[in-house]
């Protein structure tokens, strides 16, 4: 289990964050926030420090009122004196209360704004980076971390205010306690600091443990717990009656999570033990020293009460701070993942775009491509060029590299070796796993031309072309019919969705390269034949690539290229390829032809 779980964490995740890094990130964000929301940031900082004053006032209040009452009971102080002091302290507390209220009102607005900003930046970036990042797992890890940045980001301000509070507290408490003895104050602070450091270390271990042994189990248990939420999953679990299997998995990981969680909690025993012993010593010492001082008349009884209350609060505040510093470890990682994400892709160069008089549209030379985590190259050196207006069929087995080559041409994969020159090329495509967008019919088509609005007539024209108009027109809302399950939309069949995907292709009139990756897989055979004829009749002088397993269609292409194991192995017309001995194309074609014997 140890080995396996460790793999869940990328090395970077396990590295410790130094206080230096912590403050650096803190400072960076504070500067950013100050630059962007100057007034709010300043107000938040000031208000939160002021609000901290309540602790000090409460302590002093306790001291004075206890002294007052004690004096009154011993008849050394008049009752009016107590009332006067009480009123003063109540007024002071009212002031602090108002400050707190102002802070409470300001902070949700401030946070909400900041989180929105961060979310915007992340989503903007994610939808902007090259597609190939989506092929890498590290990227996902980074995204997951960065996604938490929204909630961590505003903490920069809280971190600073916390720090200021602690400093203020140390000064105030030193002043209050120095009455006992300066050396004593030193002893207290040193022992408390020691306690804080120890508990920091232990909690840090706990955090590591959590990340390594608890959170992976949580992830799995959540996966199996929520597997039902998906309609298709539900259907397939029902079909196979495999609920027992999924439930057992869920229970197993739930138990694992629980066990590890309990172990995690056991770590706290150390912290509790150590801090308790420290607390015991410091507290006892203080109580006895101040008690003796009180009896001898050095201190008042109010001072004694105050000191005890102060020590309790000192412990809690320092404990909070330690926890905050520990979260800092996480905080820095989250935020550095966020900044890394924003930096991604910045320096990626655009593709070479030749300006050309020649009729070559795409010129590929020595093209190699390797996926981020793959062992071997998916494309192993391709030299080929395509003329304008050519109709090219791309044929090959599953996993031979067809899709990779097409993705490079489409600009989805940019980290290739070799050269790719495009001559005034603008591509559009119908992909095998085309999108089924939960929007209106009109919007679904408009997405094909970047989401810009098209006139209704144009939409109708396209729908007619792909033979979907009759169906859509029969719906009460026509082309504004909502599709999909998101909001009581109309459910389309896979074939109808496919027609819509082809409609998207037609929406972009400026495109001069079409890539069709199994564009008719979900149409029935007659419609398929019709659709192919239709697409080619509209293609005009465009360069068309199409990938199909139905070689009856490939046969009629001007040019057929066969890709096998990352290389172009055959290139020519149908007749040429059929005359090759042991050709892959020939073998595939013959095997399909048999059906029609």
Partner 1 sequence: MVNKKVWWVLKTALRFCLPYILVNILIVSLSTGVVLFINIVNKNIVNSLSAGIDAGELPKVFFILVFVYIILYILYFTFGFIKAFGSNFYRLNVDLLFHKIFMYKSYATSQERFFDHEFMEKYSFVSGNTSKISSYIGSLTNLIFSNIGFIVGTVLMFAVYEPFFVIYSLIIGILAFTVKRYIAKKEYELDKRQIKELRYHDYYKEVLTGKPTAKELRIYRFKDHIFRKWIKIYDALRLEKLNLALKKVSLNNLFSVVKYVLRGAAIILLLRGVYHKRYDLGTFALLFGLIETVFNNIDRLMTNMISGAHKDTKYLTDYYDFIMPVTVKEIKSIKNTQDAFGSLPFGEFRELTIHNASYTYPNSDKKAVDNVSFSLKKGEIVSILGYNGSGKTTLCKLMTGSLPLTEGRIFLNGVPVCEGNKELVFQYFGIAPQEFSRFSIPLRDFVGLGSIKDKFDEEKLFDAYKKAGILPLINKYKDKDRTVLGKEYDEEGVDLSGGEWQSLVIASAYMGEPEILLMDEPTASIDPLKEMELIGNLRENLKGKTAVLISHRIGFARLADRIIMMQDGKITEEGTHEELLALGGYYASLFNEQKKLYTEEKSA
Considering only residues 470-499, where is the footprint of partner 1 by CB under 8 A?
485-488, 491, 493-496
The 208-227 contact track toward partner 1, x by CB under 8 A, reads: -----------xx--x-xxx
Q: Does 206 bind partner 1 (CB under 8 A)?
A: no
- Using CB under 8 A, pick the residue from 120, 181, 353, 415 that binds partner 1: 120
Task: Quote the tokens at residue 213.
Answer: 């042994």
Token pair 């027609």: residue: 499
Q: Which residues contact 386 (CB under 8 A, 6 or more apart)?
A: 360, 361, 362, 392, 543, 545
**Comparison of 26 and 132: residue with beta carbon closer to partner 1:** 132
**What residues from 233 to 292 belong to the interface with partner 1 (CB under 8 A)?**
233-247, 249-251, 254, 257-258, 261-262, 265, 268-269, 272, 275-276, 279-280, 283-284, 287-288, 291-292
Distance CA 564, CA 404 (A): 12
**What residues from 82 to 101 belong to the interface with partner 1 (CB under 8 A)?**
82-83, 86, 90, 93-94, 97, 100-101
Q: Which of 535, 393, 392 is nearest to 462 (CA)?
A: 535
The 391-420 contact track toward partner 1, x by CB under 8 A, reads: -----xxxx-------x--xxx--------
Q: What single string gives the DSSP state of each residue in 12-76?
A: HHHSPPPHHHHHHHHHHHHHHHHHHSHHHHHHHHHHHHHHTHHHHHHHHHHHHHHHHHHHHHTTS
Q: Does 191 bind partner 1 (CB under 8 A)?
A: no
- Closest distance between partner 1 and the C-beta of residue 269, in Å? 8
- Using CB under 8 A, pick the residue from 14, 84, 124, 193 that binds partner 1: 124
- Closest distance between partner 1 and the C-beta of residue 560, in Å? 14
Q: Does 452 bind partner 1 (CB under 8 A)?
A: yes
Distance CA 414, CA 62 (A): 69
Helix 79-126 and helix 137-147, axial crossing angle in degrees, nearest 10: 150
Beta-ladder partners of 482:
440
Task: Quote the tokens at residue 12.
Answer: 């970077």
- Closest distance between partner 1 and the C-beta of residue 296, in Å? 8
Q: Does 232 bind partner 1 (CB under 8 A)?
A: yes
The 415-444 contact track toward partner 1, x by CB under 8 A, reads: ------------xxx-xxxxx-xx------
- Closest distance between partner 1 and the C-beta of residue 237, in Å? 6
Beta-ladder partners of 382:
367
Q: Does 56 bind partner 1 (CB under 8 A)?
A: no
State the number of binding residues for partner 1 (CB under 8 A). 162
Task: Quote the tokens at residue 504.
Answer: 């998207």
Q: Is the dihedral of CA 466, 471, 473, 475 positive or negative?
A: negative
Q: Does 78 bind partner 1 (CB under 8 A)?
A: no
Q: Which of 182, 575, 561, 525 is nearest to 400 (CA)?
A: 561
- Closest distance between partner 1 and the C-beta of residue 32, in Å? 20
- Closest distance between partner 1 and the C-beta of residue 586, in Å? 12
Distance CA 24, CA 27 (A): 5
- Using CB under 8 A, pick the residue from 504, 542, 559, 586 that binds partner 1: 504
Number of H helices, E strands in the chain: 23, 10
Cα angle 362, 366, 372; round to 5 = 100
The 540-559 contact track toward partner 1, x by CB under 8 A, reads: ---------xxxxx-xx---
Residue span binding partner 1 (CB under 8 A) among the ranges 3-11, 45-53, 162-170, 459-467: 3-11
Q: Which residues contact 105 (CB under 8 A, 6 or more apart)?
A: none
């Amino acid at each position: 289990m140890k080995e396996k779980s460790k793999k869940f964490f990328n090395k970077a995740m396990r590295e410790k964050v130094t206080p230096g890094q912590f403050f650096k990130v803190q400072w960076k964000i504070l500067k950013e926030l100050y630059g962007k929301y100057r007034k709010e940031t300043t107000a938040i900082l000031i208000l939160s420090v002021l609000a901290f004053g309540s602790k000090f006032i409460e302590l002093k209040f306790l001291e004075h009122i206890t002294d007052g009452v004690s004096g009154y009971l011993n008849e050394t102080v008049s009752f009016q004196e107590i009332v006067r002091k009480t009123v003063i302290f109540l007024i002071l507390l009212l002031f602090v209360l108002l400050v707190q209220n102002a802070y409470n009102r300001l902070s949700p607005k401030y946070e909400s704004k900041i989180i929105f900003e961060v979310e915007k930046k992340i989503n903007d970036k994610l939808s902007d980076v090259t597609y190939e990042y989506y092929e890498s797992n590290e990227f996902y890890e980074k995204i997951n971390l960065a996604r938490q940045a929204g909630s961590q980001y505003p903490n920069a301000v809280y971190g600073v205010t916390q720090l200021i509070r602690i400093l203020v507290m140390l000064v105030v408490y030193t002043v209050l306690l120095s009455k006992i003895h300066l050396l004593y104050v030193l002893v207290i602070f040193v022992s408390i600091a020691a306690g804080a450091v120890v508990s920091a270390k232990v909690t840090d271990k706990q955090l590591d443990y959590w990340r390594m042994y608890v959170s992976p189990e949580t992830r799995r248990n959540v996966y199996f717990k929520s597997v039902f939420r998906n309609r298709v999953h539900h259907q397939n679990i029902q079909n196979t009656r495999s609920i027992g299997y999924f439930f057992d998995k869920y229970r197993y990981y739930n138990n694992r999570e629980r066990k590890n969680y309990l172990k995690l909690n056991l770590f706290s025993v150390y912290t509790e033990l150590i801090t308790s012993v420290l607390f015991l010593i410091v507290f006892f010492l203080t109580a006895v020293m101040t008690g003796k001082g009180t009896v001898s008349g050095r201190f008042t009884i109010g001072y004694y009460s105050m000191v005890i209350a102060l020590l309790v609060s000192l412990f809690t505040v320092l404990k909070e701070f330690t926890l905050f510093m520990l979260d800092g470890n996480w905080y820095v990682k989250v935020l550095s993942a966020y900044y890394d994400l924003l930096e991604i892709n910045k320096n990626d160069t655009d593709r070479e775009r030749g300006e050309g008089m020649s009729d070559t549209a795409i010129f590929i030379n020595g093209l190699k491509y390797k996926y981020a985590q793959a062992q071997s190259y998916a494309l192993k050196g391709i030299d080929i060029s395509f003329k304008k207006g050519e109709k090219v069929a791309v044929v090959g087995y599953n996993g031979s590299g067809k899709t990779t080559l097409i993705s490079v041409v489409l600009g989805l994969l940019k980290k290739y070796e070799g050269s790719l020159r495009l001559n005034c090329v603008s591509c559009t495509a119908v992909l095998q796993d085309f999108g089924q967008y939960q929007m209106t019919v009109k919007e679904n088509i408009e997405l094909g031309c970047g989401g810009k609005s098209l006139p209704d007539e144009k939409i109708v024209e396209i729908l007619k072309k792909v033979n979907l108009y009759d169906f859509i027109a029969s719906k009460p809302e026509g082309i504004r019919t909502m599709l999909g399950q998101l909001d009581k939309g109309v459910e389309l069949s896979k074939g109808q969705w496919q027609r819509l995907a082809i409609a998207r292709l037609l929406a972009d009139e400026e495109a001069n390269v079409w890539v069709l990756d199994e564009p008719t897989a979900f149409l029935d055979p007659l419609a398929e034949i019709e659709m192919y004829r239709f697409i080619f009749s509209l293609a005009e002088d465009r360069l068309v690539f199409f990938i199909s397993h139905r070689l009856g269609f490939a046969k009629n292409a001007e040019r057929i290229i066969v890709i096998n194991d990352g290389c172009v192995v055959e290139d020519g017309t149908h007749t040429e390829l059929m005359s090759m001995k042991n050709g892959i194309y020939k073998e595939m074609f013959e095997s399909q032809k048999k059906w029609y014997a």
